[in-house]
Structure 1
Amino acid sequence: MKSFLLFSFSIFFLLSGCTAVTVNPVDSTFEIKHVCIKDCSEECFDGRMLYLIQDGFQRHGISTEVYNSELPSECEYNVTYNCERARDRATYLRYAEIRLYRKNSQIGNIEYQLKGKGGFALTEWEDTKSEIDPLIDELLGGF
């Protein structure tokens, strides 16, 4: 019994702590109907992350618009994002950051970081969508 507990604890220890996730949800008192998203697709999976963010906001009834250089003046809410990918046996998401602003004030954010090379983290091999969708849902849970 003692060896089983030690084995179980060892497995739990190896599988946990490999991914750090922080989500600061948006207060539901904000009436967000539309967001403008800065296009950073060249740095982030050639447009895949942009698509995931757009899809996540639209799932919560918030329309999106993509801009490339200057934030359009009519955009009250805007989103910026950044990510890093790594390659082992496959390309995977190592770091992602999504920030939601009202004017110049941040009102919510997501930060996802795979520690080291992920070690035994099961998420290293998951599809980026399955990693990001629940985080966007948590960010926008009040909508």
Structure 2
Amino acid sequence: MKYAMAALSVLALAACTSVKVKPVDSSVAMKHVCIHKNPAVIVDDFVMVMQDGFQRHGIAAEVYDRDVPASCEYVVDYTALRSWDFKPYLSHAEIRITEHGRLVASATYHLNGKGGFDMGKWRGTKAKMDPVMDELLVGFH
């Protein structure tokens, strides 16, 4: 019985979600960001979810493929990884916002143990990343 409880505890801990956010300082006058498209990311709706998050906080977001447009003061770089367990799901994401190369804010979403037996691991990108975007942009309305 003691070993069964220890095993269940380990499984429960393995299913924890880790979110670390260094939010944008509310004194920053960020009205527009440019999202640098990452062709290695195969989470189809990730960019759209980020754009929605920025727009929900009153920040315009455009996507660019190659060179940073001259009009871009704030650049968003990201990565998003999928795992597979019967179907693909978002298991890790990182967002970094820089101003002329200087880190302004960052956020990391990570499913410990790739979600383990937690059924929530199959929630959609929006359900997982909206709270992260809200925390990242907490000072903006």
TM-score (norm: length of structure 2):
0.86
How far is 1:15 from its partner?
3.3
Within the candidate set 13, 17, 20, 2:18 is matched to 20
TM-score (norm: length of structure 1):
0.85
How far is 1:121 from its partner?
2.8
Q: Percent identity?
A: 43
Residues 72-91 of structure 1: matches in 2 within 5 Å?
Answer: 72-91=69-88
Cα-to-partner distance string for 1:65-85 (whole Å, 9 max, x where unaligned): 111011112211110110110
Within the candidate set 128, 131, 138, 2:128 is matched to 131
User: Which runs of 5 or more structure 1 residues have no equivalent in the other structure?
Assistant: none
Residues 1-143 of structure 1: matches in 2 within 5 Å?
Answer: 14-16=11-13, 18=15, 19-40=17-38, 42-46=40-44, 48-143=45-140
Identify which range, 109-118 or 27-36, moves more after superposition: 109-118
Counterpart-to-counterpart distance in 1, 2:35 and 2:19: 22
Cα-to-partner distance string for 1:87-126 (whole Å, 9 max, x where unaligned): 1112111110011111111111111111223213343121
Instruction: Say if 1:40 and 1:50, in contact at 8 Å, map to a contact too.
Output: no
Identify which range, 133-142 or 103-112, moves more after superposition: 103-112
Counterpart-to-counterpart distance in 1, 2:42 and 2:51: 14
Instruction: Say if 1:44 and 1:82, in contact at 8 Å, map to a contact too.
Output: no
Q: Aligned-pair RMSD on alpha carbons?
A: 2.2
